[in-house]
Structure 1
Amino acid sequence: MDLHISRSSSDHQAYGSMSNKHQGKDVDVENSSTHLERGLHNRHLQFIAIGAAVGTGLFLGTGSALATAGPASLLIAFIFIATILYSVMTALGEMAAYIPVAGAFTNYASRFIDPTWGFSMGWIYWFSWSLTFALELTAAGLIIQYWNKSLSVGIWIAVFWFVFTLANFMPVRWFGEFEMWLSSIKVITIIGFLILSICINAGVGNSGRGYLGFKYWNDPGAFAQHLVDGSVGSFVGFWAVLITAGFSFQGSELVGIGAGETKDPEKSIPSAIRGTFWGVSGLFIFTVFFLGINIPYTNGDLTSDSQDASASPLVLVVQLAGIPVLPSIINAVLLTAVLTAANSDVYSSSRILVSLAESGHAPSIFRKTNRLGTPYYAVGACSCVGFLGFMNLSENGTVVFNWFLNIISVAGFIAWAIINYCHIRFMRALAAQNIPRSDLPYNAPLQPYLSWYGLFFNILIILTNGFEVFMNWDTSAFFTKYVSLLIFFVLLIGHKLWKRTKLVPLNEVDLVTGRFRSE
């Protein structure tokens, strides 16, 4: 049953009076069976998000993107996506600091827009992160084959599935520490790579190339032409890599998923939002910049189909400089990056499932927690999706898994667009209920213009992500590119017809349930 709570202004005042009896903390009466532990700190939120965001997209995907667009287009694409991410993160921060509930934005879609939007967004987002867990388990096995190709990928899928399922059954404060230390390894590695890249560009190494500077921006050039010639081809190359850039950044918004388990959310969430955005954006933008000045985009190794370190542009930079040993070290870090992402995937998907259950969109059993505050049914269900990774052991399974990959890529942009729209509705609801934004723990800047900016470009990228299909029509490729959007609309239309839900009136939007006010 869809759970929609409406309160008049008198109910709002009555509820506020009741909340004062609970030492200044608003209590979610309807969801009282869910007892998630508020054990996460600011640093935990940041590293959970970094753990999910910094993975195969940066370490592997940037190579083919550089070959497609060229160094300048790739850099501009990452900066452009960073501005969209900023609109999403600040919007999410304003809502999550005020109403820090499990699952955050999947809950907000039901409350601020329409239960149907919460249902559709929540399930496709849950599906994407659950599938990502299966993807990362498979990637981990392929990365290990860099050292020993005789061992089956299936062995490592099973081993890592057990490890990360067990990790997610731990108390959330232990999980947060575990994820923080794992994620810090790849952050340190990227920083080390940036320092090494500066040295290589200055002429360090045994390659004999000497000082590089912006040599490769002049020859073969800063902009690659894709599909068509001339300046139009350069723009096509830029637009073609936006999905790659977006996929790399996706996961940053997961800083809001842990809102319901955060200590002192009014202070921790805004700080975590800022830290995550600037940390992830800085790492990504500087990494693609140094890749672009140290590798010519015409290098054939950038388009390798390999899934291990040999396909990483970071390794290619080191190899071109004639520095031995480091490829194996980077492969080890790449493995760590994938494993931390897998760890974050189970946590995030399980909390999304909790949010769906609390909104009435999933069985209520997924709301249940043990004495440690862990939603054990939700964790168990989400970890089981990881077994889909074994599909890659069969030839036909690989085809299906590639479809799954496309669902993951675009589902993130759908979530970003809905977060922006939730925020627009949130601000309007505040105005309708005479609650000034100045009273909120955190105020998103440049509003409402920034949220409209993010909403517009997220929708535009979603609709045009498969534009190459229309230039050279391919029916199979069309469905592959737009499968996630099709699934979303099937969920949206199906739920709307079944439940007959309506847009929540602004004066009835629930701005009370789940609030946390510290003394």
Structure 2
Amino acid sequence: MEDIGEKSSPANSTSDVEKQGPPPAEGLKRNLKSRHLQLIAIGGTIGTGIFIASGSSLSRAGPAGALIAYAFVGSLVFSVMLSLSEMATYIPIAGAFTRYAARFVDPSLGFSMGWIYWFSWAITLALELTASGLIVQYWNTSLSIGIFIAAFWAPITLINFLPVHFYGEFEFWFSSIKVVALFGFAIFAICIDAGVGKEGYLGFKYWNHPGAFAPYLLDSTGAKAKFVGFWAVLIQAGFAYQGTELVGIGAGESTNPRKTMPAAIRKTFWTVFSLFVLTIFFIGLLVPYDNDSLITGNTDAAASPLVIAANLAGVSVLPGLINVVLLTVVLSAANSNIYTGSRILVGLAEENCAPSFFQKTSTRGVPYYAVSFTAAFGLLAFMNLSDNGGKVFNWFLNIISVAGFIAWSCINICHLYFMRALKAHGVSRDTLPYKAMWQPYLAWYGLVFCVIITLTQGFTAFIPWDTTNFFIAYVSLILFVVLYIGHKVVTRSRFIDPLTADLDSGRFREETDVWEDSPRSRWKRVIDYIF
């Protein structure tokens, strides 16, 4: 009987490794470099979640509670990025992890995950466009946000019809502004905390009064009320981090995935994690969690904790400058939303989970149908002009937040099944182009806590019971289950047998490196991953 591993493995012999042929006349082009991939993910991640919504996190959990919450969710994202790195390096395809679910786990999981993830980014586009109008209203409240929704939607859509390397360059420079702005805020915060502002030396003043942890919902100031505040912030922290995984979406358009993907993935994570944790820490030093501007519940630029910190410090010029940065932030995020959503549609179409015409591209590699369809959802931002538009957007916003945790759970599941398929085919992980450390333990860690947060994030609907808030909190999970069951009933799909899992289609054809497995090489890989 023949050895299955030797017959099926795509990586066991050099005869199976084919050289990449000339690119087709149509199809996605591999024109994205490592720096493009990093900044695309950073551009999609650093948006209103950290610049505006972080103020709500501070008011609910306090400075220490919010800091711990963002660091904890960051550790979950770390597990997701490690899981994604192995798969995206080995099989760099359009749509990336939404297709891994269909290929390694269950076609129904790929269908439901892909569509809810696409929908979340399409709706995020509408929210970012709305935020752009609200930011401009900071200077002139008489202007309608509808003017700016239209004014910004058109050029952002046109940018996504350009060849992908133009989009990559545009996003590189726009995202660089975000990174510089957050580093600049860190320097500003250090100076103000040391006593440069009108309030003098602050130190950890606000950690002592009103306190490091804020009670939330419960009528007490005890440990239970403070833990509730911490747990309530987890879903907001997840919304802020959502997008870090976008570096995997661009795998199908990277120049040399074997080399660019590992570097892009690790640098993206550490950049986002460092910026978020530092920003939350410094916000907690400069703004008390009971500040009136934080607890109003507004979502405009005036509610940004960065603006509030500048106002408290008495720096009159800085709030206007921060709002200019905020405008570039939301426009860059909106730009990434269209790119991400269109590539997810391409991946769904290639897995027969969406109409096949979404695969069509121009001769320059632009999936114009997918771009048009995704961009059209940005026009939902005009719903904010109606009286009931806010209620509908509360539902949309929850779909976005929880969809991130659902996607992260699925990525970790995909990696666990990917490892199972490798074992069944007799492929050693030491032969992979990139071998992630601490697996499968990190994948299980991320999966367990992402599922727990997804199931419990709507606990506020129980304190006290509110039927409307319950459905708002769990509408995305309900939609995910409906999509999964619906696809399962219609197609009668089965879970993928690890022996028949497709480990070859879409694999980047280049000789793989065999990992040296000595104590010295293992420590070197740890150091290389971190730095």
What TM-score, normalized to structure 2?
0.92
Per the alignment, residue 116 of structure 2 pairs with 124
Matches within 5 A, 1:166-181: 166-181=158-173
Per the alignment, residue 224 of structure 1 pairs with 214
Structure 2 CA distance for aligned equivalents of residues 262 and 139 of structure 1: 31
Report SS of the residue matched to 1:410.
helix
Matched, 1:464 2:460: no
1:259-317 deviations in Å (ceiling 9; x for gaps)? 00001101100000111000000000000001111111111111234333211101111
Matched, 1:403 2:399: no
Identify the match of residue 366 of structure 1 among 358, 365, 377: 358
Q: CA deviation at 1:67?
A: 0.9
The answer to whether the Cα contact below 8 Å between 2:52 and 2:303 also exists between their aligned partners in 1 is yes
Matches within 5 A, 1:323-472: 323-472=315-464
Q: CA deviation at 1:149?
A: 2.1
Matched, 1:109 2:101: yes
Report SS of the residue matched to 1:507.
coil
**Aligned CA-pair RMSD:** 1.9
Structure 2 unmatched runs, 5+: 512-531
Structure 1 unmatched runs, 5+: 1-6
Matched, 1:45 2:29: no
Q: CA deviation at 1:398?
A: 2.1
Per the alignment, residue 19 of structure 2 pairs with 23
Report SS of the residue matched to 2:135.
helix
Q: CA deviation at 1:35?
A: 1.5
Per the alignment, residue 4 of structure 1 pairs with none
Q: CA deviation at 1:489?
A: 0.4
Amino acid at match of 1:366: F
Per the alignment, residue 525 of structure 2 pairs with none
Q: CA deviation at 1:318?
A: 1.1
Q: CA deviation at 1:510?
A: 0.5
Structure 2 CA distance for aligned equivalents of residues 448 and 291 of structure 1: 35
Report SS of the residue matched to 1:278.
helix
Structure 1 CA distance for aligned equivalents of residues 453 and 25 of structure 2: 40
Per the alignment, residue 179 of structure 2 pairs with 187
Structure 1 CA distance for aligned equivalents of residues 91 and 507 of structure 2: 5
1:90-141 deviations in Å (ceiling 9; x for gaps)? 1101100000000100010000101000000000000000111111111111
Per the alignment, residue 162 of structure 1 pairs with 154
Identify the match of residue 292 of structure 2 among 300, 317, 330: 300
Report SS of the residue matched to 1:281.
helix
Amino acid at match of 1:517: R
| Seq. identity, % | 58
Structure 1 CA distance for aligned equivalents of residues 329 and 296 of structure 2: 20
What TM-score, normalized to structure 1?
0.95
The answer to whether the Cα contact below 8 Å between 2:26 and 2:361 also exists between their aligned partners in 1 is yes
The answer to whether the Cα contact below 8 Å between 2:128 and 2:334 also exists between their aligned partners in 1 is yes
Amino acid at match of 1:363: P
Instruction: Name the stretch that deviates more: 489-498 or 390-399.
Output: 390-399
Per the alignment, residue 488 of structure 2 pairs with 496
The answer to whether the Cα contact below 8 Å between 1:36 and 1:374 also exists between their aligned partners in 2 is yes
1:294-347 deviations in Å (ceiling 9; x for gaps)? 111111111234333211101111111111111010011111110000000000
Amino acid at match of 1:23: K
Structure 2 CA distance for aligned equivalents of residues 394 and 33 of structure 1: 46
Structure 2 CA distance for aligned equivalents of residues 25 and 476 of structure 1: 55
The answer to whether the Cα contact below 8 Å between 1:201 and 1:294 also exists between their aligned partners in 2 is yes
Structure 2 CA distance for aligned equivalents of residues 143 and 373 of structure 1: 34
Per the alignment, residue 138 of structure 1 pairs with 130
The answer to whether the Cα contact below 8 Å between 1:143 and 1:307 also exists between their aligned partners in 2 is no
Report SS of the residue matched to 1:141.
helix
The answer to whether the Cα contact below 8 Å between 1:141 and 1:157 also exists between their aligned partners in 2 is yes
